[in-house]
Amino acid sequence: MKTVKALMGGLLLSGLALVSHGQQVCSAAFLNNKMVVDEYTPKGKCSLPLTARGELTVATAELSSNESKAVDIVSFKIAIRDENTRTLTMFSGDDFRKIEIQKVLAKCKKGDSIVLLTLEKQYALPHNEILIK
């Protein structure tokens, strides 16, 4: 019994150490509370039409087999990648928690990408580039 308790205690401490030492929390881009990425896997792709409307946010994501929802809003910055030169240009020096996507798209053309940057290392944002169609 002591061995089982010691093992369980060791596992609990190991888990706490991971959480407190840099484990990243998964986040995603959302447009009107709908995840932008088509599937939250390494093969997932993000794209929006140039005519998209609504509020863009980045948030931690609660994923299930039938839905994905935003949980906690995360601050982010925005850059635009030019399709032809691949140059990244900051959209603004501001930090955002939400923004109307039309304001960003006004500075984009078809083929460009919106690149989202988290401000804190604790948030992983694997699908951070949104192609404009």
Q: What pLDDT score does 62 carry?
A: 87
- How many CA atoms within 13 Å lie on the side-chain side of 12? 6
Query: Which residue would you say has higher pLDDT here, 1 or 125?
Result: 125
Neighbour tally for 129: CB within 10 Å: 16
Residue 51 is which amino acid? T
**Average of per-residue pLDDT values in the chain:** 85
Q: Are 58 and 125 in contact (CB under 8 A)?
A: yes
Q: Does residue 119 come out as left (phi exceeding 0), alpha (psi in the -120 to 50 range) or beta?
A: alpha
Structure confidence at residue 19 as a pLDDT band (50, 70, 90)? very low
The pTM is what?
Answer: 0.81
- Interatomic CA distance for residues 68 and 28, integer angstroms: 10
- 47 to 8, 37, 92, 102, 130: CA distances (angstroms): 45, 7, 21, 14, 5
Give the start-to-end residue ranges of the domains of the chain.
24-132
Token digits of residue 72? 């906690």
3-state class of 64 per DSSP? coil
